Amino acid sequence: MSAPEAGEVSVALRDGVGRIVGAVERFFHPNYVGIIVATVFFGWSLTPSLLPRDWLFEGLVSGINAAIGYGVGCLFEWVYRKWIRKPLRRKLAQLPTSVTRQWARRPKWLSGAVKTTIVLACLGVGVFLLVESARWQREITALMAMEPITTSSFLRTGALSAVVGAIAIGVFRALRRIVRAIAFELIRRAHFPRQLAVPTGVLIVVVAAVLLFNGVLTKVFFDVANSAFSVRNGHTSPNAVQPQLPERSGSPNSLAAWDTLGSEGRWFVSFVPTAAEISQVTGKPAREPIRVYAGLESADGPQAQAELVAAELERTGAFERKVLVVVTTTGTGWVDSTSAESIELMYGGDTAIAATQYSYLPSVLSFLSDKDKATRMGKLVFDKIYEHWSARPEGERPKLLVYGESLGSQGSEGAFAGLADIRSRTDGVLWVGPPNSNRLWSEVTARRDPGTPEILPTYADGLVVRFADGRGDLWKPGDTWLPPRIAYLQHASDPVVWWSPDLLFAEPDWLREPRGPDVSSRMAWYPIVTFWQVAADLPNAQRVSDGHGHNYGNLVLDGWAAIAQPPDWSADVVDRIRDYLAISAARERQLK
């Protein structure tokens, strides 16, 4: 090919690229600074979080973060145009004409080439980071002894992220058009000054969106959710059979009818170790455990539910047992079977456990809508039980213990004004996987002893409150741990414990300090991005192996043993109880 022909091909190629870039720009209207910043946010979102994520969750999180990054880039570009480019152009106008003409004569294809290079470079970086992210996810699964994630499956994240990001950007652009339409009408009809029309349009759209979301949409969403989950609440597992023993709520003798207990309540009172099973494990005579429960439909309102629970405890003779445990449930009324069985096996069935339901919604939705209900119910039930318990002679009362897991711990904390109140009215407290917004947990963690990490703080030398990630963090022989004891169980990898709105713009101590043993050393804090990463970990919090995330397994047994160890406790009994709990948990997963 001759030189002139090569030149013609080169020009044609440049022109072709220019036409393609122009067509793409007219259709998508991309902001190239936005694309660059979106790639940065996308890359940040692919870095490790607390738990391993599959391609679907990663795609949703990365798409949201990329859209946020695109918006930040657009803001940067607007600031440049508004505050930098205009003064720069004024200075260029003062330069000699020969210089400005030379700048104006820059090749037309150069702009298209630069834009094309930006897009291709961002795509290349994105693919590279997706491959790296799959490797990082495998490192996390190895820490938690889980099945590794394949790189090929993880590459689907990129396509999903692009779709999610495009939808988010499309919604924003639609809102921007609405703002402009409102501003135009304000100028035309109300004769608004142009400088005020757009800000007023933005204000109108924001106020309308907030009112719509907080009013109509939120109400509709939670009404639909309540309706849907109330149907599920009426479902009964075929393996949940109405108890016939008088020691159970829902039995023919019970003041709380079987069909009013709700799905979780019916399971709670039917899936109970019998006296014979307990005796077989411990090698000692045992009693039938007492389990008392009041569902949302068991009584008319929270106060009546609390009174019903107290009446059920009186009916079953619960105040004559060795141990009485007051449980604040999670949203749907769920009680962890391992926690209940642990205390029952420890005390040979000479126990009573009381629990109530306060919502139809799962914990995540309850946290958003029913958090106050959990706190109110926790206080009402404990105060009513304490009233009956304290009316008995001091030497004839059972140990009064308190338990709550996840949102249940928040509701349980609500029963007390502070540590002094807990110590004056209980014989021990066990709280598992407390949400970051728990009032007492937050206060104690913030006032931890200097030099102790947030993931495992020491408070006042551990004399009253202790935090544990594993068995060895709890009580040891020779330790000074004053009764009544308070214990928090919290894993370093539990997103329920560490998720907080503060993650949006502030790096938490638990990421500045040394990581927990099952948290990737590659995890870092990025503004906005880490908030969404940990938020995406929440739905998967219990879908990990025992001892990680929000899956506490047999650590609950160690927690009970630390705060309320019976006098005949031995290592041999502990091992037999652990074996029973493992078999029982597997059986429950199969039957429920």
Q: pLDDT tens for residues 372-418?
A: 788 899 999 999 999 999 999 988 999 999 999 998 999 999 999 99
The Cα–Cα gap between 288 and 350 comes to 7
* Pair 253, 246: CB distance under 8 Å: yes
Task: Tell me the C-alpha to C-alpha distance, in Å, between residue 89 and each of 93, 100, 104.
Answer: 6, 10, 12
Q: Structure tokens of 84?
A: 């930098």
Other CB atoms within a 10 A radius of the CB of residue 105 amount to 8
Contact 142, 117 (CB under 8 A): no
Q: Which CB contacts under 8 angstroms, 24+ apart, belong to 469-477? A: 469/516, 469/517, 470/547, 470/555, 471/555, 471/558, 474/558, 474/559, 474/561, 474/562, 475/562
In 428-503, which ranges are E strands?
428-432, 465-468, 485-489
d(CA 495, CA 55): 19
* CA angle in degrees (0–180, nearest 5) for 355-586-339: 30
Q: State the first-to-last Cα distance of the chain, in angstroms, to the nearest integer.
A: 76
**Average pLDDT score, the chain:** 86
399-405 vs 428-432, strand pairing mode = parallel
The stretches of 317-362 forming alpha helices (DSSP H) are 337-346
Q: Residue 78 has what pLDDT? A: 86
pLDDT given at position 12 = 53
Whole-model pTM?
0.84
**Spatial contact of 367 and 361, defined as CB atoms under 8 Å apart:** no
For position 497, what pLDDT does the model report?
96
Q: How far apart, in whole angstroms, are the C-alpha atoms of residue 520 and residue 499? A: 16
Separation in Å, CA 21 to CA 103, 170, 194, 226, 574:
22, 20, 33, 50, 70
Give residue 106's pLDDT. 58
Per-residue pLDDT of the chain (592 residues; tens, 9 = 90+): 454 544 444 555 555 555 665 565 665 678 889 999 999 999 999 999 999 988 888 899 899 999 999 999 998 988 888 787 767 666 656 656 655 555 555 566 667 778 888 889 999 999 999 988 988 988 999 999 888 877 777 778 888 998 998 898 888 888 888 888 888 878 887 777 877 777 887 788 777 766 666 555 555 555 554 555 554 555 677 888 999 999 999 999 999 999 999 999 999 999 999 999 999 999 999 999 999 999 999 999 999 999 999 999 999 999 999 999 999 998 788 999 999 999 999 999 999 999 999 886 665 655 555 667 888 999 999 999 999 999 999 889 999 999 999 989 999 999 999 999 999 999 999 999 999 999 999 999 999 999 999 999 999 999 999 999 998 898 766 789 999 999 999 999 999 999 999 999 999 999 999 989 999 999 999 999 999 899 989 888 988 988 999 999 899 999 999 999 998 888 889 999 999 999 999 999 888 7
Number of other CB atoms surrounding residue 183 within 10 Å: 20
